[in-house]
Structure 1
Amino acid sequence: MSPAHEEERLQALRSLEVLDTAPEPEFEAIVNGARHLFGCRMAFVSLVDANRQWFKARCGIDEEETARDVSICHHTVAADATLVVPDTLLDERFANNPLVTGPPFVRFYAGIPLRISVDHHGQRLPVGTLCVADDRPRNPSAEKIAMLEGMALVIEAILQARRASRERLRLSIDRQEALVEIARTQRLLQQAERMARIGSWRLDLATKRSHWSAQTFAIHHLQPSDTASLGHALDFYPPGDRAKLEAAIAGCRDNGAPWDLELDFINAKGVLRRVRTMGEAEERDGEVVAMIGVIQDITERYKFERRLREFALTDDLTGLASRRAFNEQIEEAINQADSDAALAVAIIDLDRFKEVNDRLGHQAGDEVLRLMAAKLRAADYLGDVVPARLGGDEFIVLLHGSHASERLPEAIEGLLADLRHDVPADGGAITVSATIGACRLDAAHADRSTLLKAADEALYRAKRVRRGTGAIAGRGGLLTGADERPARRTA
């Protein structure tokens, strides 16, 4: 890339105002989706600055940035093309790279350039990459690479839309201050709004009348000749989201506080959409006289991010909730629990599962995991509970009410009985059982970290004494199930 283009590229990158910003769920969701798609250990969104590459989102790596001269992504940006390296040790460009020979030991790499428009003539320059990487060689299919390229387009759209939102809002503000240029500014704004599907608006607080741009009318599915009052505008939002917007408007009117909200929205055709609305105060002589802002239809991006999030929150093999999903569930349950609410966790570790894998192969092991997941889903004696897979041969359940208090020993004994399973092997059988550690939510275990730690310690206390038993934190003795009672039948 020529020095002139490099300077333009860096200007385009910095115009995004995204370097060194906090993690955001939409980027994290795409990165997690890419990692799951390829089954790789690492995935990240890398932005290549003058002397470094910085990660807007990452999984599988600890560093927030690396030097540009050792960055593999630098080669993707320089070539402005998709780069797939099945085995870095066989590529002379990367064989001696410290990121290949040392942590994180990159052996496979696939990167898609992220391009940003730099002028009104459609010129687009790469500012970073969406990448997947692994510490093992891989040769991904063309279909997966095409899907990764599609994800990169979503990231580009998010970055472009955000930059466009800021630019459109600034243009809208400038339009009010520079009346002599209002006609030219209006034409530019309308063009930008059509391209980005972003509309602008202004609410006069004295008259309660709103001025909407053409694209704002289009988002509402109204004709530009229709009335645009504040009350009419609020009618497009369902009650809960309308209340959020009314509170934001009141805060802006009374205190000059800006807002940036994503809300459900029902257009004039009765179609449910998702919009992002931003607003801020227009002041004159220290008094708020109007509010100005933008509205953007983000329905397709919202649906895509929801699908990616659902994918990230589900364990592929068993169909149970993933570790990440369980962490969110337990945090929400703890935050909502009052002083009288009973809550407990039970961590389940399968005994002799490694023997099944070693003797019968991973396919047999996977069948055992799926069977255990089915048994957990069918355990209606636990009450209304959603089990999760923590990884490997570890599962976990969150218990509520009496199942988490006086009936907790009974619940564990039921699980011990249900999760005992004989796997046919060489004319005999490998008996897979479960060892369980549990802990109740109380003053000594009042957050997720201490609750899970105590349950894990109870699990290993049971393992040290006798596998296939259960233990409860703070309670002596062990619980048994499979040896003293017949196993429950599951569907």
Structure 2
Amino acid sequence: MPIMTSKVSPFDRHAETARAAALQALALLGTAPEREFDALVALAAELLGCPTALLNLVDHDRLFVKARTTPGVMAFARDTAFCDRTVVDDRVTVIRDTMDDERFRDSPLVTDVGVRFYAGAPLRVADPDGVRRAVGTLCVVDNVPRSADPRELAALAHLATLAEALLEARRTALKAIHIATSGEELVTRLGRQDQIFRQAEQIAEIGSWRLSIDEAALDWSDNVYRIHGLPVGQKPMLDDALAFYPQHSRGAVQAALDEAVANGTPFAIETDFVTADGRARRVRAMADPEVVDGRVVAMVGVFQDVTERYALEQQLRRSADTDALTGIANRAAFDRELQAAMTRARQAGTPLHLALIDLDGFKAINDTLGHGAGDDVLRLTGKALNEPWLMGSVAARIGGDEFAVIVEHPALMTDVTALRERLEAALHVSVEVGGVRMSSAGSVGIAPFDDDCHSLRDFARRADAILYTAKRARVGTPYVRRVA
């Protein structure tokens, strides 16, 4: 028996109809996976520490999964889905334990699939009247009950904002491409359509363009000139347009365009860009081939400034690689950095050391002064491992009170004993609560990389063995002093 049927009242039927129209305008239901949405759900799963994240679109009676991090069904009945409640309420929904919630405990997602935790944020796009409607969700689920702290929910909301930007850009780009490629309709209805198109261009920072293959000449709409930082006027040549791309991007743009023309396939690329007045931007160009008598005679498409969206995406990626408490790298980023450092050392024969650190007395500080004091110790430790004297070494928090440092600078490795002693000195931090001061220290194990380290695990085991020996040599009891 369905347990979450959405019964739309007569008062709400117009809103539901408008919501469905906004969803249909995206042309996303049942479509193939797309890289941008796959990247979003991967970030959501990592930031909230859940195995499964999904981007869902909610139709009248069905829920369609656009992207997910784990294998599973891609469509199911709306009235069985937690996301239905998120869309109806149009707000972030958190279910800490589905078995404790009478609305959801009998859902097949709980009884058959085993979902015990859910957190979802609504995704809104504008309907035909310009009213923003919730058409889907970005959500994470887990098969064990859990809670989500405010920072995790804020991250989910930020990712939902990015997803909305992608959906809105898609809707506007589809409309712009349709207008740009409807030549006959533009001729007969030029006045009205031109006004609509110019408004759409300015709102979405999109312009249209056409490249004549034989002449290698471009026709730009006004907004393409604006994005380039040029006055509207002279018809540019292809070489002139390519000059706005940095040297490292220009070849990729030319190659992608050549391939599209040669094969008669759509063209799409996103890359760096520099305006006429020297401003660094990020742009996306898309086009479809114009074919006459079996030959591509032109490419017709759109050109968009995506700088703000790209900056937000990069910021979220950096957040996914950073430990929120200490501000240094997290475990996932550490594994990638260490693997890359090992590859560099093998290929170039350069020295590499791995330092593993375990805080001594951290549990006693937590138990005596509270978790707030423990968090202060972790923050101070992260700050100590990010000091300039470490010369660009990558520091990471890899566990509760476990840290690591990847050392590649030759000057730091001339005297490993001195490096260990300096690290141990830096790890002496003090915290005070209620007149009681406690000091934490750290044990350090530093291992060199050589041909016997065939994998990241081999390297870590070597450093861990050295750390264990150092740990046994320390007392590990924090110093306690009552100051009031």
> What does residue 93 of structure 1 align with?
103
Between the two proteins, the alignment pairs up a number of residues equal to 452
Equivalent AA in structure 2 for residue 94 of structure 1: F
Q: Residue in 1 aligned with 2:479? A: none
Partner of 2:166: 158
What's 2:211 paired with? 203
Corresponding position: 1:27 with 2:32: no
- Confirm or deny: 8 A CA contact 1:35 1:43 kept in the other structure: no
Q: 1:428: how far off?
A: 10
- 1:316 is matched with which residue? 324
CA distance in 1, matches of 2:342, 2:182: 48
C-alpha spacing 1:431/1:222, structure 2 compared with 1 (3 Å):
closer
> Secondary structure at the residue paired with 1:391?
coil
CA contact (8 A) 2:329 2:396 kept: yes
* Aligned partner (choices 341, 353, 367) of residue 362 of structure 2: 353
- SS of the counterpart of 2:471? coil
Q: What is the correspondence of 1:279-358 to structure 2 with a 5 Å cutoff?
A: 279-334=287-342, 338-358=347-367
Give the conservation status (yes or no) of the 8 Å contact 1:344–1:441: no
1:74 aligns with 2:84: yes
CA 1:212–1:171 in 2, change beyond 3 Å: closer, same or farther? Answer: same
Aligned to 1:46: 56
Q: 1:486: which partner in 2?
A: none
Q: For 1:170-210, what per-residue CA distance to the aligned partner results, in whole angstroms no more than 9, with x for missing partners?
A: 553453xxx47644376364454344322111111222221
Residue ranges of structure 2 left out of the alignment (5+ in a row): 1-5, 477-484
Contact conserved, 1:29 with 1:305, CA < 8 A, in 2?
Answer: no
- Give the corresponding residue for 2:482: none
Counterpart of 1:266 in structure 2 is 274
1:331/1:203 CA distance change after superposition, 3 Å: farther
The answer as to 2:130 corresponding to 1:122 is: yes
What is aligned with 1:476? none
3-state DSSP of counterpart to 2:312:
helix
Is the Cα contact below 8 Å between 1:314 and 1:325 reproduced in 2? yes
String of CA shifts for 1:129-169, please: whole Å, max 9, x gaps: 2347894567969xx98997676444222112124324533
Moved more, 155-164 or 197-206: 155-164
Residues 70 and 409 (structure 1 numbering): CA distance in 2 closer, same or farther, change over 3 Å?
Answer: farther
Secondary structure, aligned partner of 1:15: coil
When residues 364 and 468 of structure 1 are mapped into structure 2, their CA distance, relative to the original with a 3 A threshold, is farther
SS in 2 for 1:321: coil
- Confirm or deny that 1:362 pairs with 2:362: no
CA, structure 1 residues 383+428, in 2 after alignment: closer, same or farther (shift >3 Å)?
Answer: closer
Give the Cα–Cα distance (whole angstroms) in 2 for the partners of residues 335 and 48 of structure 1.
45
**What is the CA distance between 1:276 and its match in structure 2?**
1.1
Of 304-313 and 406-415, more deviation after overlay is shown by: 406-415
Identity of matched residues, %:
36
Measure the CA separation in 2 of the matches of 1:55 and 1:255: 29
Q: Does 1:458 align with 2:471?
A: no
Cα contact 2:172–2:204 (8 A) shared by 1: yes
Q: Distance in 2 between matches of 1:351 and 1:136?
A: 29
Change (3 A) 1:279 1:377: same
SS at 1:311 equivalent: helix
Cα deviation 1:86-141 (Å, max 9, x = unaligned):
766775423555767895532xx6644223345x4436553212347894567969
Q: Which amino acid aligns with 1:294?
A: V
Contact 1:197 1:215 in 2 (8 A): yes
Q: Distance in 1 between matches of 2:74 and 2:446?
A: 39
1:55 is displaced (CA, Å) by 6.4
Give the Cα separation in 2 of the matches to 1:360 and 1:348: 22
Contact 2:351 2:449 in 1 (8 A): yes
TM-score under structure 1 normalisation? 0.73
Matched, 1:377 2:386: yes
Distance 1:230 1:157 in 2: 30
Deviations 1:31-82 (A, max 9, x none): 379849xxx9987543336545636366xx88786855442211122x2522
Normalized against structure 2, the TM-score is what? 0.74
Q: Structure 1: give runs of 5+ residues left out of the alignment.
A: 470-479, 484-491
Q: Report the Cα distance in structure 2 between the residues aligned to 1:221 and 1:406, rounded to whole angstroms.
A: 52
Distance 1:153 1:344, change over 3 A: same
User: 1:295: Cα distance to partner?
Assistant: 0.6
Structure-2 change in CA distance of 1:255 and 1:336 (3 Å): farther
Deviation at 1:26, TM superposition (A): 6.0
Distance 1:379 1:219 in 2: 40
Using the TM superposition, give the Cα deviation of residue 343 of structure 1 relative to its aligned residue in structure 2, in angstroms: 3.3
In structure 2, do the counterparts of structure 1 residues 270 and 383 end up closer, same or farther at CA, with 3 Å as the change threshold? closer
What is the CA–CA distance in structure 1 between the aligned matches of 2:30 and 2:401, rounded to whole Å?
43
Tell me, in whole angstroms, the C-alpha distance in 1 between the residues paired with 2:63 and 2:272.
39
